[in-house]
Structure 1
Amino acid sequence: MRLSRAVLTAAVVSLTAAGLPASAAAAPAAPERSVTDVVPAPVSAQADPRGDFRLTPFTVITADRGAGQVADYLRGLLRPATGYPLPVVPRAAGLPAISLKLGHDARIGTEGYELKVARDGVTLKANTSDGLFDGVQSLRQLLPAAIESPRVQHRTWTVAGGTILDYPRFAQRGAMLDVARHFFKPDQVKRYIDQIAQYKVNTLHLHLADDQGWRIEIKSWPKLATVGGQTAVGGDPGGYYTQAQYKDLVAYAASRHITVIPEIDMPGHTNAAQSTYAELNCDGVAVPPRTDTEVGYSSLCISSPITYQFVEDVVRELAALTPGEYLHIGGDEAHSTPPADYLAFERKVQPIVAKYGKKVTGWHEIAKSVPPVSAVPQYWGFGGDDPDVAAAAAGGNKILMSPANHAYLDMKYTPRTPLGQDWAGLVEVRDSYDWDPATLVNGVGESQVAGVEAPLWTETIRTSDDIEYMAFPRLPGIAEIGWSPRSTHDWDAYRLRLAKQAPRWVAQGIDFYRSPQVGWQ
């Protein structure tokens, strides 16, 4: 669509007549913002206070071919609070513009970007639409926090001037949401997707099955969802995603440049399945449903051919619904599976995943099975020595870092935190930030780290407010560990940048923990 200045002028007149902001010169000045305030910290950022750019009703968004989806997303971010038209057009035609450009810059890779803000316009360049999307997340932080409001705000809209050159330290920056202990509806998951996307998180790991509930429709084993999906921790209501709902979640995440990694935990954490289908038990007798939070008591029948038919059916259907490369097969806390049986199970199941075109990821216990080099063990220990993980890294496997004593978002902040657990310790905001993936596990260095992930287990988490309270403000720091150069890692500097995020969370309605370690704005 191409709009002339006359058409835009008419739009401004209409906005003014409707009581919407054509100008807000009398609005109070916003707190100072700078390109050096961005979370996660960029590779390089140089402020230019004389280069501030002002959004007006005449501003347009221009997009190269292939950049249209990101341009539409940007427009959707900016329109509610400004009330401005902000049309997406091929060329600016002399109008002030935010320009999204695709090109080739060897410095920034597939997710990096270069952002320049000057008085006469904003230019965002990247090699891919992923890079443009990441750049948009930085751009939104250069506007007043009120830009996150869902309703029109009468004020000036100034983008802080300067230049950012940026690209990620690690390829994978993830968040995990456990929907098995407590079920979260699709709209709740989408809300979390939007929240994590603004910090350049690019994977969402969905923990879809556990002892307390099965959350994904499997057409060849229909009672998994309709029966096994009806329970949750503490007897709370259950639920499950139809395959259509799951596909919609995957597509929504993709629109935020996030890849969904589904998990079916096995051979342990399987009570919901074993209580639903008796044949999954060695004695052929269904176990009772369980809604407590104990772990380690359940196990599939390792010697039974039916077990592997079950696994293949689940993997086949889930792989067909999931465009991402990886399926997560769990593998943790299988205390009721003898070690030899555990290895036998892994060596049968991992080729099934490959048969359906996917790569394996699982909790770090899978490293004992010497998985293929393409597999990614997810480390959830406390750091230090782990010979199996170190051996996997030495053999060529990349390791995903999720140390429970730093990255588990369900750990209590303090003894008085009303939600969460403390088996991995108390994890205040600084604890979640002060660690390095490249030195966490002996024998696993920088080049052997796939990235980081922040899991959120939901034994005590029931609502979206609960999710937000435990994830914020810790998740942005873990995202920064995954994205930003090691050289930028400094708590004293980070806590100042983090404090400036608070007004944005307030505008978004995020219920966050106001840690006394941070001087909140």
Structure 2
Amino acid sequence: MTTAPQIIPAPAVVDGDPSGGFTFAASTPIVVESPALAAVARRFAADVAADTGIEASVIESAGAADPGDALAVRILLGDTGLEGVALAGGVRADGASAEAADERHGVDVSPERVLVWGPTPEAVHRGLTSLRQLVAAAASGGAAELSAVRLLDGPRFAWRSLTLDTARTFHDVESVERVLDMLSLYKLNVLHLHLTDDQGWRIEVPSRPALTEVGATGAVGERPGGYFSVDDIAGLVAYAADRFVTLVPEIDMPGHAAAIFASYPELAPRLAGPDLAIEGLPVAIGTLDPARPEVWRFVEDVLDAVIPQFPQSAYLHIGGDEAFGMDEADHAAFVARAVELVRERGRKAVGWQEAARADLGDDVLVQHWIDTPPQAVEVLRGRVPEPLLEVLGANLRAAVTDVPRALAQRNRLIVSPTQRLYFDSPFGDASTDPAQNAVRARLGMPFYPPQSVRRGVEWDPVADVAHVTDEDQVAGVEGAVWCETVTGRDDLELLLLPRLPGLAEKGWATAGATDWDDYRARLAPQSAVWSRRGWNWYRADSVEWESSPVGAHASA
């Protein structure tokens, strides 16, 4: 066994041979032995060219001897030697079983050739992603000198995801595509699109045109609004599928509904009072009423429009969080009916952890995010209006029983703890770039404790989550980037990098807290690809970056 190569997430099995290596260059053919892998090979070649400038060619072969046999990268379908690597646990967003969507793979680098194999095209894509990182880390002068190594690998969890908030700040198609490229680089396989909230409605519902004509027109502050058309979503679904990422939509209800009420005032709460509209609150108080038939006609119209736009997702996220001002029984009734409506349309539901306060079937996934004790709200006293303090405190007090209730109902958890995986937390590390330290002062929710890059990896999604006692209780791991403080693409990418690779490490690599010294040695060379791609990234001073041009992409 040898030290893990410069790959994130860390591979499960690494065997090295210091006696030789392989030179990867533009002259290196990528030989495909199965037609099912042709698209995977072309994606690999395109990504390597974007990462390094090395433009290799793809050769389709029937498996017979050809010029590609010598000094080539060969990719093929098969599971030879993978018996010792466990199948992924948890749940896949596309509904496939771990066996049908096997991601286990091998990468064998020798002086004669590079071999990448796996039992499915997705598995081969993951193996090529490891090779892609090896090439990028070693690239210099139009070639990459790769050390001989044999990797056998597979993910710990089947759901490895990022929540992207498009409501508080709208992100256009190109920006979302750039995020999808980041996910693919680190073997993350789900992008959860938060499409609706108080500040904006971001998806086209043809039968409800006011949602985009009115509800999509603004964002936080003076930022421009926007929405994804049906064609936009179709393009993003295809772009994601090409990278083996599933898009999961969220329609947040019954709370976070101000954009709905602006679009269709007849759905707004009929009564006004201190529980429904509190002057000076930075959050909306008002929820959809489960006793009104017109509310359910609206919900069904939305589900009928949104679900078909995401044909690869077995799930729709119904929100269910922060239903401020809503009676507990009404909230539970709303969530239960929304879940059933999703089921009737052939999908399963995901809800934020507050959804567990309803009676749910065991097919519902519960996204755990509140990992702060109720008394933590006291740090906000004097910083936010007292009515808001009480609203937030009540939700934190109720949240204490959410995870135990979810587990008692046999709901698997998507683990998204705020204090580990909320990337809108302020940076805990200073930057080596003075301009970024000015950005640091305004970026991130001010009531979250600052989070270091190190804190994002020194924990375990099972051992360090309260009430979780068994790996089978976890569907997967998901980070989140909320965009109240994000003014545009540069801010978004700055919050994601270098944090996103840590999320991937927690979702893929073996159990336990990641060793920080090992991890940051693997993290440092990643920045060369980020810079070449033009992605904005934060130069945390806790890592000795191998590529850090001062001032690049820093937004003030």
Where on the TM-score scale, by shorter chain, does this alignment land: which range?
0.7 to 0.9
Partner of 2:98: none
Partner of 1:347: 336
Aligned residues of 2:35 and 2:60 also touching (Cα < 8 A): no
Partner of 1:239: 226
TM-score by length of 1: 0.87
Partner of 1:4: none
Offset, 1:395:
3.2
For 1:67-216, list aligned pairs within 5 A: 67-79=37-49, 81-82=52-53, 84-90=55-61, 91=63, 93-95=66-68, 96-104=71-79, 105-108=82-85, 109=87, 110-145=102-137, 154-216=141-203
Q: 1:406 aligned to 2:381?
A: no
Gaps of 5+ in 1: 1-32, 148-152
Offset, 1:357:
0.8
Q: Counterpart of 1:50 in 2: which secondary structure?
A: strand
Output the CA distance in 2 between the equivalents of 1:247 and 1:106.
37
Cα deviation code 1:110-138 (max 9, x no counterpart)? 11211101111111111111111111111
Q: Counterpart of 1:228 in 2: which secondary structure?
A: coil
Aligned residues of 2:26 and 2:143 also touching (Cα < 8 A): no
Offset, 1:420:
1.1
For 1:239-278, list aligned pairs within 5 A: 239-278=226-265
Taking a change above 3 Å as real, the CA distance of residues 317 and 284 of structure 1, as seen in their structure-2 partners, is: farther
Q: Counterpart of 2:316 in 1: which secondary structure?
A: strand
Taking a change above 3 Å as real, the CA distance of residues 410 and 487 of structure 1, as seen in their structure-2 partners, is: closer
For 1:433-472, list aligned pairs within 5 A: 433-445=457-469, 446-472=471-497
Q: Counterpart of 2:319 in 1: which secondary structure?
A: coil
Aligned residues of 1:401 and 1:453 also touching (Cα < 8 A): yes
Q: 2:500 aligns with which of 435, 450, 475?
A: 475
Cα deviation code 1:166-215 (max 9, x no counterpart)? 11111111011100111111011001100121011000000000001000
**Letter in structure 1 aligned against 2:491:** D
Q: 1:424 aligned to 2:448?
A: yes
Q: Counterpart of 1:272 in 2: which secondary structure?
A: helix
Output the CA distance in 1 between the equivalents of 2:19 and 2:143.
16
Output the CA distance in 1 between the equivalents of 2:21 and 2:189.
30
Offset, 1:487:
4.8
Q: 1:47 aligned to 2:72?
A: no
Offset, 1:481:
0.6
**Letter in structure 1 aligned against 2:517:** D
Offset, 1:465:
1.4
**Letter in structure 2 aligned against 1:302:** P
Aligned residues of 1:270 and 1:299 also touching (Cα < 8 A): yes
Taking a change above 3 Å as real, the CA distance of residues 135 and 289 of structure 1, as seen in their structure-2 partners, is: farther
**What is the root-mean-square deviation in Å for CA atoms of aligned residues?**
2.4
Taking a change above 3 Å as real, the CA distance of residues 406 and 499 of structure 1, as seen in their structure-2 partners, is: same
Offset, 1:476:
0.5
Aligned residues of 2:41 and 2:58 also touching (Cα < 8 A): no
TM-score by length of 2: 0.82
Aligned residues of 1:271 and 1:289 also touching (Cα < 8 A): no
Q: Counterpart of 2:493 in 1: which secondary structure?
A: helix
Output the CA distance in 2 between the equivalents of 1:168 and 1:293.
43
Partner of 1:391: 405
Q: Report percent identity of matched pairs.
A: 37
Aligned residues of 1:35 and 1:164 also touching (Cα < 8 A): no
Q: Counterpart of 2:180 in 1: which secondary structure?
A: helix
Output the CA distance in 2 between the equivalents of 1:350 and 1:127.
35
Output the CA distance in 1 between the equivalents of 2:271 and 2:36.
55
Offset, 1:447:
1.7
